[in-house]
Structure 1
């Protein structure tokens, strides 16, 4: 009996057991999950959360651009999302004359709202379990590659059936539980999304890298957009004739706030988690992609930041890409640190030891899976060095110097695409050129060359290093200088020459193109050495996932996040990050003033006198909390990850409390394992958002659009 209890205890360390853990599928909420939500305080029925036949809360939640989330808050299609989610759009409209990053943006009326050709929002219409249809074409005797081919074939059929019924829909079949289940999600996209309001970065990005992933937080991380449709309320490309979208459901805004223990739920589109990944996979993640991001991006970002701090034009050009790069860089630092401090690998290995004993003691499992964990261990060991080299290769070359990225895009440019797609691709390419500084990029290139050589063994060096040794006497700076001096890709003119088939220009003779081709060859070469191992690991992780779920069959498992809509729920709650410290569940504007004083010489904490006067005035009106203060941010133990940024945080009645925008530093391993005592979701208080909109932005016309509950 003691041995059995020990096995169960080890399992419970790595599987969900608390009501506030889990990113739940709306179309698959079982009775136990609904009961748990009710016990925590949910006051609306489950069919008000998701109902494919009637308007419900999910009809107001959007995937924002495919990388964030958002929520519809007015009958004229206003969308709230995070400032960092709208950051790229804000940056694209920013100039030295109109510095919307520094000063913020306000559309005084709808004619001033700014279109964003590359931006879209996606609404979920329905979900359906299609696992039985796909499993009927799969057999245990298939190789993993054969399984892929068979799965893809039936997925194409399922998606085509939706297209045939309505060609305006977006059907996507996603894999769940490491490929053991499959669900069809049907979406509708709206492509005319316009910028309406953005606070200054000193509000929306207060603290920048220093405060990123940290609590206490005082960042007003929000921005406002509007969805437009044609006159029939259907999706349409941008047109001056389009009108504001009329949604089937609008989320009301709460001014009541919250208290410690208040029910809180989050709806959005979390990116990817790996809660069921083996310990071998976690260890590979730490030493591979995470460490590559830490090392390589740290070098690149230091160059970018130095130049951004010197010149406003560089700050504007590089703001968005620096923001995106540094976010995952700091995430990787925090994740590796948390994995070690919270002993995540040790906990996973305890669970795997219990799994191995269960397999040995269960005849059917023993017959099929006796060597599963051994196989995983050996395959990950075989992939360790080439896999690590691939991680550094991609960070160094594919995500490093921007001129290489442009060369690869030109090489792969689809001149035969439909006109709409062709125009969008050209616009995207031109935007990249417009935001490129060649001197900075050349310095990054040189630093990347040196960093990669330092990090990997000689076997994984591309041909360019031999060329530097042979033709430049090992002088990598001379090589980079020559490369940038002789390539024709420093302007987008090369794309025009290729499109017009100019006989005076041979694309493949350009030194940057030649280098890019060498890099492609090296990537292919490294990848070929681990193709079979990759397939073996994918198969065994799928079997591992299924085995854990069978071992604890009575438990209510949720699938890993995969960019599909999910619900998480819990309570507003503070936490104890370490012995002797207690963090409250909310912050106020007093903290803004304290941070400005503490970091008086740091540009990341500089706030204009106008805003400082506003937040210290005490004139908060209906947006004040019960103590008369102005709340800025709050935390709950809701389960979130990347992609949840901009997700609506609701109270028990389905009213908007705020927007999720971050996790906390102490639980950065949350994509791998949930730590209930530490993990928190950081949100910006909707009352602070409305206060900034009304008092700073003077956008009373937007406030009047909202359904605002009275205190």
Structure 2
């Protein structure tokens, strides 16, 4: 499961242009349980560690947790949260050695692995192992983030808000206070990062204080036939047999403080190391995950869900499907292209399939019907409550009207973003150059330049031209002519409607199709006016067109933001005695539940774990299918059953397991702990039957898929024979 932070947030390690923003309303499943009579399961929710109340703690203990809450989160003393990191801002990870080794998913490290790969050294295909610290590979754009503490700053932030403010004025006021609070953290200690995030639709605000480490090096990666076993075919599907893990190391200066990359840096010594369990789990065993879930719209109104289905999700399905088909054909024909395009294909296809599953699940699980039933009950409560009726009587009619008013434009913006902002890489380069900040701190400028150069290293112009032509056709086919940018008029007028001729001319006349033009730009060549470059000019035209579309729906969008926030607050007032959990927003969260199987359909029962036997069976059943191709060395090792201390009580090698923990994008790489706070594995996926989980939790169906830590250690030990790494792990006797 990829979290795709480049799509949801602008992370400092990735360039992202916000395509469009869906405002969320954050409710609780207790509300649904009350309305529909369903059983409340303790595993639902993504809970803030620094705000666990008595009811939540009690529910965790009832499920089997033996660790006191202060051992999970304690700002003043080492605790379990100190072993969990945000990995690159788009995944999670867990520290597993005194010398700063971090376990995360293979797909989370995929970009770094790809950057170090070549036809001669194909670490994607063959895997990678550093036999010494000197062989570990640096990754300039990668960082890990430790949470130090959280603090409720709601009163201070909302103290700047007055009832008469418009939504835009409210946003300016709250943003200014949030920035001030963040600045105070850095001013007090320059090694700290303060981030204030909105919760509950902007009704609460919390400060998270972090410490970032920027020197993160690749240590180990299994072959992709292990780390990506099943590829697109098995993605989001249970049963899984994927060894989805990779290993990195955090480096610091000689005083154990954060430092930019330097050969003089030394392994970081963490405050807390996650203990590892070799005893595994049974059905019903307590399981909790700690990580950084990215974003959910779990309780978005039914109007917002409809917009998401037909806008963002459908645009992603349609446009990425076309783009990926072009990439895949080229990748299958050429090994060099396969390596160049592996990471971006993986990144793109992950949420393409997610969107397909989400839209299908919304229909199959009758999500809209459930939400409308909930909204009808809320409306009845508003009508019966005088103080609510006076201010909220027209809430739902306002939501319906304003979502309708922006429907077509919002949909067009979704297709526009996917087709152009996230489409041809030439346009992405143009946008990156237009957003380049020469005034930033030198190290960020250098890192940005390296990032752009990396784009060139992984770009094939012929493929990109094919993508551009396809995007032009796809966008035209999906939107009204009102939303066509000026280049379509140019194609019609100057190129007789021939998209290929237009694209060929554009690439032929642009200087930024190669690093040469970029070099002239970076060196401030006075003979080169980059604004005259046709690709840059097109980028500006597209930004202007997108801005115009966005401006045309400013009024309904601001009203939607207001109404969703008011809706959220009304629900919390309606059930003021209930225990609320906030929606995911890339901050550290705890989810908890039990290891268990499920039955997605009549006569279909899924067990709670898979074994290496399934790897052999799938490889045999899918011979000739690259998604299930496994190296003979791996097959031989698994067939030998030489599992040693990593075998379960039956002598089998468990590969993956599932729990009913809550999960979403960003949870990839999250640590999965047992009742004693010992590491069981790494979360890496959800399941196909519950793909609408970002919108609504389905307790009978939703499962969190994890790779067993014993399989991870088995591959490091028995397959790679990385004795240098094995010496770092403190492993209990079984």
2:343 to 320, 335, 344: 320
- Answering whether residue 262 of structure 2 is matched by residue 262 of structure 1, we say no
Task: Report the more deviating stretch, 607-616 or 160-169.
Answer: 160-169
**Aligned twin of 2:166:** 143
Identify the range of structure 1 (590-599 vs 666-675) with the bigger mean alpha-carbon deviation. 590-599
Partner of 2:8: none
Residues 537-594 of structure 1: CA deviation (Å, up to 9, x unaligned): 1010000111111112221110000000000000000000111000000000010011
CA distance in 2, matches of 1:15, 1:222: 36
- Counterparts of 1:282-431 in structure 2, within 5 Å, are 282-431=305-454
Partner of 1:39: 62
The answer to whether the Cα contact below 8 Å between 1:10 and 1:351 also exists between their aligned partners in 2 is no
Tell me by how many angstroms 1:495 deviates: 2.1
Residue 275 (structure 1) shift: 1.6
| Structure 2: runs of 5+ lacking an equivalent | 1-29
TM-score, normalisation: structure 2 = 0.95
Structure 1 residue aligned with 2:236, among 206, 210, 213? 213
- Structure 1 pair 168/361, CA: closer, same or farther in 2 (3 Å)? same
1:684 and 2:684 aligned: no
Question: Quick one: distance in 2 between partners of 1:518 and 1:187?
Answer: 39
- Which ranges in structure 1 are unaligned for 5 or more consecutive residues? 1-6
Q: What's 1:496 paired with?
A: 519
2:269 is equivalent to residue 241 of structure 1: no
CA distance in 1, matches of 2:114, 2:540: 32
Q: Find the counterpart in structure 2 of residue 451 from structure 1.
A: 474
Which deviates the most, 696-705 or 196-205?
696-705
- Over the aligned positions, Cα root-mean-square deviation in angstroms equals 1.3
- Is residue 558 from structure 1 mapped to residue 602 from structure 2 by the alignment? no
1:694 aligns with 2:717: yes
Alpha-carbon shift at residue 496 of structure 1 (Å): 2.1
Q: Could you say if the C-alpha distance between residues 415 and 254 of structure 1 is closer, same or farther in structure 2, counting changes exceeding 3 Å?
A: same
Question: What residue in structure 1 maps to residue 18 of structure 2?
Answer: none
CA contact (8 A) 1:11 1:354 kept: no
Cα shift readout 1:455-499 (whole Å, capped 9, x = no counterpart): 000000000011111011111111111111221111122122223
Q: Which residue of the partner structure matches residue 469 of structure 1?
A: 492
- Quick check: 135-144 or 244-253, which moved more? 135-144
In 2, the alpha carbon distance for the partners of 1:526 and 1:21 equals 38
Distance in 2, matches of 1:361 and 1:418, equals 57
Q: How far apart, CA to CA, are the structure 1 residues paired with 2:567 and 2:647?
A: 51
Q: 1:10 to 1:675 in 2, by over 3 A?
A: closer
CA contact (8 A) 1:16 1:557 kept: no
Bigger shift: residues 290-299 or 154-163: 154-163
> What SS does the corresponding residue of 1:669 show, helix, strand or coil?
coil
Q: Deviation per CA, 1:60-100, whole angstroms, max 9, x where unpaired?
A: 00000000000000000000000000000000000111000
Structure 2 partner of 1:173 = 196
1:198: how far off? Answer: 0.2
**1:380 aligned counterpart, secondary structure:** helix
Compare 506-515 and 295-304 and name the one that shifted more. 506-515
Q: Which shows bigger deviation, 43-52 or 152-161? A: 152-161
1: CA distance between counterparts of 2:603 and 2:656?
Answer: 23
Find the partner of 1:125 among 145, 148, 154.
148
Which one of 600, 603, 608 corresponds to residue 626 of structure 2?
A: 603
Matched with 1:638 is: 661
Task: Please list the CA deviations of residues 283-341 of structure 1 after superposition, one character each: whole Å capped at 9, or x if unmatched.
Answer: 10000000000000000000001111111100100000000000010000000000000
d(CA) in 2 for partners of 1:482, 1:604: 38
Q: How many residues align?
A: 705
Q: Is the 8 A contact 1:20 1:639 kept in 2?
A: yes
What TM-score, normalized to structure 1?
0.98
Q: 2:662–2:703: 8 Å Cα contact kept in structure 1?
A: yes
**Offset of 1:130 from its aligned partner?**
0.6
Residues 460, 8 of structure 1: alpha-carbon distance in 2 compared, 3 angstrom cutoff: closer
Alpha-carbon distance between aligned partners in 1 of 2:504 and 2:175, rounded to the nearest angstrom: 46
1:3 matched residue in structure 2: none
Asked if the contact 2:511–2:518 (Cα under 8 Å) also holds between the matched residues in 1, the reply is no
Question: How much does 1:409 deviate?
Answer: 1.1
**Is 1:203–1:219's contact at 8 Å kept on the other side of the alignment?**
yes
Structure 1 residue 13: Cα displacement: 4.5
1:612 correspondence with 2:620: no
Match of 1:435 among 443, 452, 458: 458
| Equivalent-residue separation in structure 2 for 1:631 and 1:704 (angstroms) | 23
Deviations 1:194-237 (A, max 9, x none): 10000000000001110000000000000000001001000001
After superposition, give the CA deviation of every residue in 1:389-426 in whole Å (9 maximum; x if it has no partner): 00000000000000010011112222222211111010
C-alpha distance in 1 between matches for 2:393 and 2:56: 34
